[in-house]
Amino acid sequence: MLGGLAVGETRIEGMLEGEDVLRTAAAMRAMGCGVETLGSGAWRVVGVGVGGLAEPEDVLDMGNAGTAARLLMGVLAGHDMTVFLTGDASLRSRPMARVSTPLQMMGAQFITREAGRLPLAIVGAADPVPIEYRLPIPSAQVKSAILLAGLGAPGETTVVEPAATRDHTERMLCHFGATVRTETAEDGAGRITLVGQPELAATDIVVPRDISSAAFPIVAGLISREASICLPGVGLNPHRSGLLVTLREMGAKIEETNARDVAGEPVADLVVTSGPLSGVTVPAARAPSMIDEYPILAVAAAFAEGDTRMCGLGELRVKESDRLAAVRDGLVANGVDVTIVGDDLIVRGRPGAVPGGGVVEVRHDHRIAMSFLVMGVATADPVGVDDMSPIDTSFPGFLLLMSELGASIDEAGA
């Protein structure tokens, strides 16, 4: 998206070519950007500048790409044109009002289904207005949408976040030449301010490996017997490292080597060694830094000694599926004692004695599918999933990677 809003040619290496990325590329291409793949994760984007997107001739179908849809709403809010967005059944069920509400304050108009759901029409603002907006809930997606809309507004657009969320957008905006200030307010909240109407300059990018994707082989290595794996070049953004913090509290052996900086993001190689895990309490305040990793953490907790209590997981109810219920049902189907109390998930571990043998309903959710396939590497009996097709949404190389690590996945029987 930022390459499309920059002036000049941006070259990207290391792109994970999942369905979400391909949908985003198609959307930017439909609005006049030059977007092409050069092979092996290399891409070329020719931008049109801030405010330079053209009205697409057709509806933009974002598939299952929730992050892309929400961020694109921000981009489009600052363009004087009408655009229609839709997605698959899962994306059409997800709430979008949390994004459209602040964007309406900036001058954009939205026609949506109940609760702001897709399909929706966006009428972008001819003259977007900068705002200061305090997030009612921690959400990097909402924050990013507002900042992207602020690119087209004069003056300064500010987002106040009571709890820190992932800051990839701020880092990438700076990498493209925008001015972004991050401060701490008197009440401890973060203040992120963007100076509007910059001329973004095209720049080359090497994409670090995603910690949310790395989470699956990490946990697979930890729960297997006598395993040791190395995952090179993993992005370790401090606002995304909650899973590593939690696993280490549980006793996991995860070593960071060859630390470096790539395009403003901290990166290191991870060496993971199997060993015993112990149950812990994960505070609600950690949720923003690991919200996508709770399904695979729950799998790790199933193999830990004692109880693991994950607190404050209400946001999981409005992900690609109701992940809180999906995780509980999947664990129960495979012989694990688990309880939901309010927004807390409590998993009672069975180290060395997780039965498995169940078939998990993934509910169109890629992370549920991958989490329970990982669970099957260490259960007494195989774990099945009813649908593997959602995996390509975010991790098209997942099955190959797991096979290379020694997992046996029967696609016909999954």
pLDDT digits (tens, 9 = 90+) for 37-61: 998 899 999 999 999 999 999 999 9
Classify domain 211-404 at the CATH topology level. Answer: UDP-n-acetylglucosamine1-carboxyvinyl-transferase; Chain (3.65.10)
| Structure-token pair, residue 239 | 């606002």
**Please, are residues 278 and 305 in contact by the beta-carbon 8 Å criterion?**
yes
The two domains 2-204 and 211-404 share their CATH topology (first three levels equal): yes
DSSP H or E segment with residue 20: helix 19-30
| Structure-token pair, residue 31 | 């609005």
Average pLDDT, the chain: 95
| 262 pLDDT above the threshold of 90 | no
| 413 pLDDT above the threshold of 70 | no
Strands 205-206 and 7-13: parallel
Please state the pTM of the whole predicted model: 0.84
* pLDDT tier for residue 16 given thresholds of 50, 70 and 90: confident
| 263 pLDDT above the threshold of 80 | no
- Where do the structural domains in the chain lie, given as residue ranges? 2-204, 211-404
Looking at residue 412, what is its pLDDT?
Answer: 64
Catalytic residues: 292
Q: Of 3.65.10.10, 3.30.70.260, 3.30.930.10, 3.30.559.10, which CATH number belongs to 2-204?
A: 3.65.10.10
Cα separation, 317 vs 285, whole angstroms: 17
Residue 91 burial by CB count (10 A; 0-12/13-18/19+): exposed, middle or buried? Answer: buried
| Structure-token pair, residue 329 | 């049902």
